[in-house]
Amino acid sequence: MTRAMSPSRRGFLGLLGAAGAVGVAGLAGCGFPRGTLGEPLTSELPLPRPFRVPLPVPRVARPVRSDGDTDYYEITQRESEVEILPGVRTAVWGYDGLFPGPTIESRSGRRTVIRHRNELPVPVAVHLHGGHTPPEHDGYPTDLVLPVGDAARSGYAGHAGRAGWSFHRGAKEYAYPLEQRAATLWYHDHRMDFTGPQMYRGLAGFHIVRDDEDDALPLPKGDKDIPLMICDRAFAADGSLRYPALDPSLRDEPGVRAAYMEGVLGDVVLVNGAPWPVLEVANTRYRFRLLNASNARHYQLALDPGPPEGASFLQVGSDGGLLPAPVEHTALRIAPAERYDVVVDFSGYPVGSEINLVNTLGSGGVGRVMRFRVARRERDEASVPGRLSEYEPLRRSQAARVREFRFRRGTVHGMKGWTINGKAFDPTRMDARPSLGDVEIWRFTTDFHHPIHLHLVNFQVLSRNGGGPRESDAGWKDTVDLEVYDEVEVITRFTGYRGRYVLHCHNLEHEDMAMMANFETV
């Protein structure tokens, strides 16, 4: 964001001041569901009837080789045509050409190395979201992998020759020590200014870390442990993914059309890349690893009908792994980038029952997510114990420092835009320097709806608006949801690696339009 803006970019940001401010004032005052802030896109072709497509489960990648302490993988980022809507071919940018990408499964403490080859027409960066990762392998947004065969570094939004940028020709190896607890992580594109459209085109996949503690619990396993990547998309008349980019080539001009500055909302809900799919289940417990991979849409998930007895969801894990004890939810709010591991018990439903997973923040197509069909009886070998894990709760008294980060509209290169502490992102400016080993409290305040993500560390939510955390804040988190005018405090200990990392809003249109800041562990 440090370069001079083109006229179209200046105009785009300038419109935010008027249109955006009116939007927030109007929506906050009329009972509009806060979780749906953004601008919807309408698909230009007939959409399929819901609950006709089987739920696909992303394939698990196999290492190309292994040695005593490391598994090695190779992934090629390339364009391919896939069938998302029945009978329609859609071009995606995928890891190995897949949407979602292949799932990586790793063991805690065992090193994983992934060589990413870039056969796309634009640069990429790969971020392991939730990974406790050295800075050179974190997917910093200006650490770019250039397309195969392109060494010129020309074009690409004027990136070449600027301070704070680095380039890799055609491929890069990302090494992950994975000295962390079992958790549902994910990997996705993180190219500066273009994360939103490149993820929208398909660059996202699961990375699941397993360990002995999680394995020893009697939670559902095997084919009853299922990752669910939930996202929304819109489709053009030719079947392509519809996105309001100023530059559809994603080479030179970043940003979206002015109306979509607050976030892009699609009208088709996809789960693991399928529209409103159906999963046949037994009348037993299942573990679902929920991920909101949408650019901007929030969901409030519920079962319809709910179970005859007990809660709809028994949460056993969060972004950073197992909770100390399970938490019951009738409905579960999930912001972009958040993950929740939940157990759903289908034993109270008769065989033949159909249960819809719905989004109570939406209506029509975006009010539906997927369907479960109870197809058979089985003996249930799984259970959910009352105690799941133990870890150190961080205390306010341990904090060496309190820092404040204000997520606001502000001035971006002389125009209105998204800022942190009144500043647009600059890869050469350092906004905080926490010391390794220190515990700090970071206080987030906002005038809009922002899911805030920290790289490198997990944190615990201390407070919301002067009160306690909400139930869905339990456990170790790496992303926390802020609603309009919220004040949220999180506490974390900085451990592991010295270097440069970022925190940012995970509404991807906000991130791409400067709502990101650097911190450096020292």
Starting at the edge strand found earlier in the chain, the sheet holding 450-454 runs: 479-482, 450-454, 499-505, 516-521
- Using CA atoms, how far apart are residues 214 and 358, in angstroms rounded to an integer? 29
- Collapsing DSSP to helix, strand or coil, 24 comes out as helix
DSSP 280-349: EEESSEEEEEEEE--SS--EEEEEESPPSSS-SEEEEEETTEEEEEEEEESEEEE-TT-EEEEEEE-TTS
Q: Would you state the pLDDT for residue 74?
A: 98
* 276 or 261, which is more confident: 276
Helix (H) or strand (E) holding 22: helix 21-29
Bridging pattern class, strands 479-482 and 450-454: antiparallel
Per the listing, tokens 């974390």 go with 492
111 CB neighbour count, 10 Å cutoff: 17
Give the mean model confidence (pLDDT) for residues 322-343: 98
Indicate whether 5 pLDDT > 60: no
Q: Which two tokens stand for residue 246?
A: 């100023």
**What pLDDT is stored for residue 36 in this prediction?**
59
CB 310 within 8 A of CB 351: no
DSSP 19: I
Instruction: Identify the residue whose tokens are 């990413």.
Output: 116
pLDDT, one tens digit per residue, over 120-134 is 999 999 999 999 999
User: What are the C-alpha distances in Å from 218 to residues 73, 209, 328?
Assistant: 30, 17, 18
Tokens of 411: 């001035």
Neighbour tally for 55: CB within 10 Å: 18
pLDDT-derived band at 156 (thresholds 50, 70, 90) equals low
- pLDDT for 520: 97
| Contact of 490 with 474, CB cutoff 8 Å | no
What CATH code would you report for 396-521? 2.60.40.420
Instruction: Tell me the percentage of the chain whose pLDDT exceeds 70.
Output: 90
> For the residues 7-30, what does the mean pLDDT come to?
36
Q: What is the pLDDT of residue 423?
A: 93
| Plot region of 438 (φ>0 → left; ψ -120 to 50 → alpha; else → beta) | beta
Model pTM? 0.92
Is 384 in a helix, a strand, or coil? Answer: coil
d(CA 74, CA 171): 10
CA dist 435 and 101 (Å) reads 36
Whether the CA torsion 403, 409, 415, 419 is positive or negative: it is positive
Question: Which residue type occupies 397?
Answer: S
Task: Determine the Cα–Cα distance for residues 476 and 200; give it in Å rounded to an integer.
Answer: 27
Confidence band of 332 (pLDDT split at 50, 70, 90): very high
> Is 299 a residue whose pLDDT tops 50?
yes
Per residue in 466-491, pLDDT (tens digit) is 999 999 999 999 999 999 999 999 99
Q: pLDDT tens digit string along 401-448?
A: 999 999 998 777 766 679 999 999 999 999 999 999 999 999 999 989
Burial classification of residue 64, based on how many CB atoms lie within 10 Å of its CB (0-12 exposed, 13-18 middle, 19 or more buried): exposed
Q: Are 467 and 489 in contact (CB under 8 A)?
A: no
Averaged over 256-283, what is the pLDDT?
A: 96
pLDDT reported for residue 153 = 58
In which region does residue 280 sit, left (phi positive, over 0), alpha (psi from -120 to 50) or beta (all else)?
Answer: beta
How many other CB atoms are found less than 10 A from the CB of residue 282? Answer: 18
Q: Where are the domains of the chain?
A: 65-216, 224-376, 396-521
- Tell me which residue has tokens 């940003």: 255
Tell me: the pLDDT tens digits for 86-119?
A: 999 999 999 999 999 999 999 999 999 999 999 9
The CATH fold of domain 65-216:
Immunoglobulin-like (2.60.40)
Q: Which helix (H) or strand (E) holds 195?
A: helix 195-200
| Helix, strand, coil percentages for the chain (3-state, nearest 5) | 10, 40, 45
Both tokens of residue 426?
């600059």
CATH code matching the domain that covers 224-376, chosen among 1.10.3720.10, 2.60.120.560, 3.30.1340.30, 2.60.40.420:
2.60.40.420
User: Mean pLDDT lowest for which of 57-66, 87-96, 117-126, 146-155?
Assistant: 146-155
**Which residues neighbour 370 within 8 Å (Cβ) at sequence distance 6 or greater?**
51, 55, 228, 269, 271, 276, 277, 278, 279, 356, 357
Q: Which 3 state secondary structure label does DSSP give 76?
A: strand
Cα dihedral 147, 148, 151, 152 sign = negative
Q: Are 69 and 111 in contact (CB under 8 A)?
A: yes
**What SS3 state is found at 14?**
helix
d(CA 185, CA 199): 16
Average pLDDT, integer, range 293-317: 97
Q: How is residue 500 written in tokens?
A: 């440069």
